Amino acid sequence: MSRVSISIVVYRPDVAALTSTLRSLRTALETAREAGSINYVLLDLVDNGSEDERLLDAAVGATMDGLPWLRLQIIRGHGNIGYGRGHNLPILASDATYHLILNPDVILAPDAILESVRFLDTQGDVGLVAPRGYGPDGERHYLCRLYPTLWVLYLRGFAPAILRRSFQPYMDAHEMREVTGEEVVKGIPIVHGCYMFTRLALLQKVGGFSPDYFMYFEDTDLSIRLGRLASLAFVPRVNIVHFGGGASRKGLRHIGLFLRSAFTFFQTHGWKLV
């Protein structure tokens, strides 16, 4: 049986959406506990800034209370330090076997934690499990990707629809659509940060997320650094639903953050045009 820690970072969260995430997480944890795969859980909600702390606390407590094998902690008072640095607060202090980096807009399948633990328990060369993702409409979300290029970032985030359609096969290849189907795939280059189930010792060895990224590309950078030490694996038995949107649909500030993080990433790991 394994000890699992989980971190969720929020900033002015949609409390109703977060509650749905926590309900699905509770069910997934109870399923794994009943199957004998986990024995204790450390759940840290990192509050980088909320409009109503009492409302948030009440929602979290009502959803997650009553589990004697779960320790819940809300970490706040540090301000908005960014997504990656927020996750690092519990990551670098944890003593668990496995750690789940989870977005507050993800719904887990009831057996998601169980299947993640089982896979890492039996695959010693793998350091991270990537799930099969779906959108709220049931459409596949492809959460595994190749190394990013400037051209694919433009197509995904900023290009007009007619241009994106013209280069759809190129974008599909970048998202590994033909590769990530019904079989396990090891050696995934990049994993989306909405659900990263990892070996904690490996995560701590690379220092967690890089503090160079406030938002965007922190998961891309982390994937590359983890991938140098262990295989990242797509595991289709692990399923989630992910709500989320791109930077280009969130306003000019997010576009600026995206571009700044992209520059930092390419300066660190190497520029690739196409």
199-229 pLDDT per residue, tens: 999 999 999 999 999 999 999 999 999 999 9
pLDDT of 248: 47
- 246 pLDDT band (50/70/90 cuts)? low
Check whether domain 2-269 has CATH 3.20.190.10, yes or no: no
Question: Per-residue pLDDT averaged across 54-83, rounded?
Answer: 95
How far lies 125's CA from each of 147, 151, 205, 221, in Å?
21, 33, 15, 20
With a pLDDT cut of 70, the percent of the chain lying above it is 98
Q: Tell me the two tokens of residue 48.
A: 């980088």
Nearest residue to 143 (alpha-carbon basis) of 192, 183, 213 = 192
pLDDT of 47: 98
pLDDT of 53 above 80: yes
Question: Per-residue pLDDT averaged across 220-246, rounded?
Answer: 94
CA 27 centroid distance within chain: 19
Query: Of the given ranges (1-10, 124-133, 150-159), which has the lowest mean pLDDT?
Result: 150-159
pLDDT of 61 above 60: yes
pLDDT of 245: 58
pLDDT of 240: 98
pLDDT of 267 above 90: yes
Boundaries of every domain in the chain: 2-269
pLDDT of 156: 87
Q: Which of left, alpha, beta for 273 (phi over 0: left; psi -120 to 50: alpha)?
A: alpha
Q: Give the sign of the dihedral formed by CA 217, CA 244, CA 75, CA 200.
A: negative
| 157 and 164 Cβ atoms separated by less than 8 Å | no
How far lies 63's CA from each of 60, 83, 173, 196, 210, in Å?
5, 23, 40, 22, 31
Strand 38-47 vs strand 106-108: parallel, antiparallel, or unpaired?
Answer: unpaired
116-154 pLDDT per residue, tens: 999 999 999 999 999 999 999 999 999 999 999 999 999
For residues 32 and 206, what is the distance between their CA atoms, to the nearest angstrom? 27
Residues 6+ apart with CB under 8 A from 208: 84, 87, 88, 91, 92, 222
